[in-house]
Amino acid sequence: MIPLSDPDITLDELEAVSAVLQSPRISSGLVARQFEIAFANYVGRKHAVAMSSGTAGMVLALKASGVGPEDEVIAPAFSWRETAHAVALCGAQTAFADIDYWSGTVAPGKVEARITASTRAIIAANTNGHPAEWDALRSLAMARGLALIEDSTEAIGSRYKGGLVGTFGDLSVFDFSQPGPLICGEGGMVVTDDDDLAAVVRRHRARRPEERASVVYGHDAPQQSAMSDLSAALGLAQLRRIDRILAARKHVENWYFGTVKSFEGIKDPYIAPEVDEIHWFLYVVHLGARFSKSSRDAILEDLRVEEVEASAYCAPMHAQPFYTARGCRRGDLPVTEKIADRCVALPFHRHLTEERVAFLVKTMKDASLNVGAGSAIY
């Protein structure tokens, strides 16, 4: 089986985890704090708060932004599913906005059309590693007095107009579970330059280690969603190697690009002109416009028969049962639906060879012959 993802683990990570296992503390402590400091320095933000997951981080980012019951949060439906779920976990309502046809990121004009008197925040995602249109989104958020939260759960290392992803939101959220480049088992990080927002996130995250052995009276019920030192040790070791990890994935991306461009029925991932550097979360290709959702699914099944773990990149959030029960319907977001129905996420990790990449694309091309060739999506 060729897996969809395969973590880039070396002796550095094994030694870091072993050191924690032999130490007096495995739960959240000094190593988690070291990871926070290192990550804040890497991204270039004042504060970083380590979390047990990206979902927990998004929940606390929303709460720190004042989001609660009766509020609305605008978010893309073409995204990591836990982003929208975090809104529901805060008791708020999600107003889904459609995406840009090319980049797959939320379209600022369509966000603006969804703003109501109940809107409290905008979540915009660096979808599959591609930065959103941050200048337009920042202007919109400032003009309407809304919190702007950056979902960077699928992005690390990409740059937009000179800025690194993670620097554009009032709060920005990362996730460190598979299949991303930086893996620490399960975990996430919330980053911000705002002292007050950081303090709220920390207060709601968990009791401080020095408080755990005593009776502490507080105003809040913390979520107990801190990152363990065990996970932090793995994440810190990965962060120290992140440039090498991303560079190795670039080689695989280039192999895909060279092979995919010879396949008339699909296109390689689009990169907007204002994006300076991009690091994909997965290698996502778009089938031609003549392919249907059912033919895409048939291609995935053929890949599985050949022991290739590929996936539909996204099942649109607004068409899933939790949201259809709340009034959303297929047909609400035509661009999201058109793109999502034809996306295929192929294996993407440093352990792939050029020969395996060629095999993957050829297998997908052969599978497409069973359902009929399509013209390029553009």
Report d(CA 298, CA 374) in Å as an integer. 14
Residue 378 banded pLDDT, cuts 50, 70, 90: very low
> What's residue 375's pLDDT?
41
Q: Does the pLDDT of residue 376 top 50, yes or no?
A: no
Report d(CA 235, CA 33) in Å as an integer. 12
Q: Which residue has the higher pLDDT, 353 or 291?
A: 353
> What's residue 360's pLDDT?
92
The torsion angles phi and psi of 109, rounded to 5 degrees, stand at: -65, -35
Kindly state the DSSP code that residue 228 receives in the 8-state scheme: P
CA distances from 123 to 65, 227, 246 (A): 11, 23, 26
**What topology is assigned to 11-240 in CATH?**
Aspartate Aminotransferase; domain 2 (3.40.640)
> What's residue 9's pLDDT?
96
- Residue ranges, CATH 3.90.1150.10, the chain: 243-369
Contact of 177 with 51, CB cutoff 8 Å:
no
> What's residue 377's pLDDT?
37
The residue with tokens 């399960």 is: 186
N- to C-terminal Cα separation, the chain: 32
Which tens digits make up the pLDDT trace of 194-249?
Answer: 999 999 999 999 876 665 555 565 667 778 899 999 999 999 999 999 999 999 99
Percent of the chain residues past pLDDT 90, beyond the cut:
80
Of the candidates 101, 68, 102, which has an alpha carbon nearest to the alpha carbon of residue 86?
A: 68
> What's residue 370's pLDDT?
74
pLDDT, the chain, mean: 92
Report d(CA 324, CA 309) in Å as an integer. 29
Output the CA angle 92-93-95, nearest 5 degrees.
Answer: 140
- Residue ranges, CATH 3.40.640.10, the chain: 11-240
| Average pLDDT, integer, range 315-319 | 91
Contact of 175 with 80, CB cutoff 8 Å:
yes
Count CB neighbours of 205 within 10 A.
23
Of the candidates 63, 71, 59, which has an alpha carbon nearest to the alpha carbon of residue 196?
A: 63
Which tens digits make up the pLDDT trace of 100-124?
Answer: 999 999 999 999 999 999 999 999 9
The residue with tokens 């046809």 is: 101
Q: Does the pLDDT of residue 265 top 70, yes or no?
A: no
Q: Does the pLDDT of residue 127 top 80, yes or no?
A: yes
Which tens digits make up the pLDDT trace of 146-173?
Answer: 999 999 999 999 999 999 999 999 999 9
Q: Domain 243-369 in CATH: superfamily?
A: Aspartate Aminotransferase, domain 1 (3.90.1150.10)
> What's residue 154's pLDDT?
95
Output the CA angle 351-353-358, nearest 5 degrees.
Answer: 135
Q: Which residue has the higher pLDDT, 181 or 219?
A: 181
Which tens digits make up the pLDDT trace of 25-73?
Answer: 999 899 999 999 999 999 999 999 999 999 999 999 999 999 999 999 9
Q: Which residue has the higher pLDDT, 263 or 375?
A: 263
Q: Which residues contact 141 (CB under 8 A, 6 or more apart)?
A: 122, 147, 148
pTM: predicted TM-score of the whole model, two decimal places: 0.94
> What's residue 374's pLDDT?
46
Q: Does the pLDDT of residue 143 top 80, yes or no?
A: yes
> What's residue 209's pLDDT?
60
Structure tokens at 284: 């996502």
Q: Residue ranges of the alpha helices (H) in the chain? A: 11-21, 30-43, 54-64, 81-89, 108-114, 134-144, 195-205, 229-240, 242-260, 293-305, 321-324, 334-340, 354-369
Report d(CA 305, CA 295) in Å as an integer. 15
